[in-house]
Amino acid sequence: MSVLTPPPPTSPSAPAPEPAPEPAPRTTAEVRRRTRRTLPSPGRMLAWTVMGGIVLITLLPFYWIVRTALSSNTALTTDPSSPLPVDFSWGGFERVFGLQSTEEALAQGGSGGSLNFWRYLFNSTIVATMVTVCQVMFSAMAAYAFARLRWRGRDKVFGLFLAGLMVPAIFTLLPNFVLIKQLGLIDTLTGIALPTMFMTPFAVFFLRQFFMNLPRELEEAALLDGAGKVRIFFQLLLPTAAAPMMTLGILTYITAWNDYFWPLMVSYSDSSRVLTVALNIFRSQTPQSGTDWAGLMAATLVAALPMLLLFGVFARRIVNSIGFTGIK
Partner 1 sequence: MTVASTVMTKRKPADGSKHADADGGSKPAGADRGDGLLAALFIAPAMFGFVVFLAWPTLRGIYLSFTRYNLLTPAEWVGLDNYRRMVNDPIFWSSLRVTVEYVFINIGVQTVAALCIAVLMQRLTKSSFLRGIVLTPYLVSNVVAGVVWLWILDTQLGIGNQILGALGFDHVAFLASNEWVIPSIALINVWRHVGYTALLLFAGLQAIPGDVYEAARVDGSGELRTFWKISLPLLRPVLAVVMIMTVIGSFQVFDTVAVATPGPGGPANASNVLQLYIYSSAFGRFQFGYASAMSVALLAVLSVITIVQYRLTRAGESDLG
Site for partner 1 in 250-309 (CB under 8 A): 254, 257-261, 265, 275-277, 279-280, 283, 288, 291, 293, 296-297, 299-300, 303-304, 307-308
Single-letter residue type at 112: G
Binding segment toward partner 1, per CB under 8 A, in 24-32, 86-94, 95-103, 110-118: 24-32
Please tell me whether residue 39 binds partner 1 under the rule CB under 8 A. Answer: yes
Residues 53-82 that bind partner 1 (CB under 8 A): 54-55, 57-59, 61-62, 64-65, 68, 76-77, 80-81
22: Cβ contacts below 8 Å, ≥ 6 apart: none
Please tell me whether residue 2 binds partner 1 under the rule CB under 8 A. Answer: yes
Residue 105 Cβ, how far from partner 1 at the closest point, in Å?
Answer: 19
Please tell me whether residue 244 binds partner 1 under the rule CB under 8 A. Answer: no
Nearest residue (CB) to partner 1, 101 versus 180: 180
Residues 150-179 that bind partner 1 (CB under 8 A): 150-155, 157, 160-161, 164, 166-172, 174-179
Please tell me whether residue 93 binds partner 1 under the rule CB under 8 A. Answer: no
Single-letter residue type at 164: G
Nearest residue (CB) to partner 1, 121 versus 194: 194
Nearest residue (CB) to partner 1, 101 versus 149: 149
Nearest residue (CB) to partner 1, 105 versus 146: 146
- Cβ-in-10-Å burial (0-12, 13-18, 19+) of 243 comes to exposed
Binding segment toward partner 1, per CB under 8 A, in 87-95, 105-113, 238-246, 317-325: 317-325
- Whether the Cβ atoms of residue 295 and residue 283 lie closer than 8 Å to each other: no
Nearest residue (CB) to partner 1, 94 versus 282: 282
Residues 202-231 that bind partner 1 (CB under 8 A): 204, 216, 220, 223, 229-230
Residue 101 Cβ, how far from partner 1 at the closest point, in Å?
Answer: 25
Nearest residue (CB) to partner 1, 45 versus 101: 45
Please tell me whether residue 239 binds partner 1 under the rule CB under 8 A. Answer: no
Distance CA(270)–CA(140), nearest Å, equals 33
Please tell me whether residue 11 binds partner 1 under the rule CB under 8 A. Answer: yes
Please tell me whether residue 44 binds partner 1 under the rule CB under 8 A. Answer: yes
Please tell me whether residue 42 binds partner 1 under the rule CB under 8 A. Answer: no
Binder to partner 1 among 93, 120, 211, 233 (CB under 8 A)? 233
Please state, in angstroms and as integers, the Cα–Cα distance from residue 280 to each residue in 97, 269, 272, 273, 300, following that order: 15, 14, 15, 11, 9
Please tell me whether residue 99 binds partner 1 under the rule CB under 8 A. Answer: no
Please tell me whether residue 86 binds partner 1 under the rule CB under 8 A. Answer: no
Nearest residue (CB) to partner 1, 103 versus 225: 225
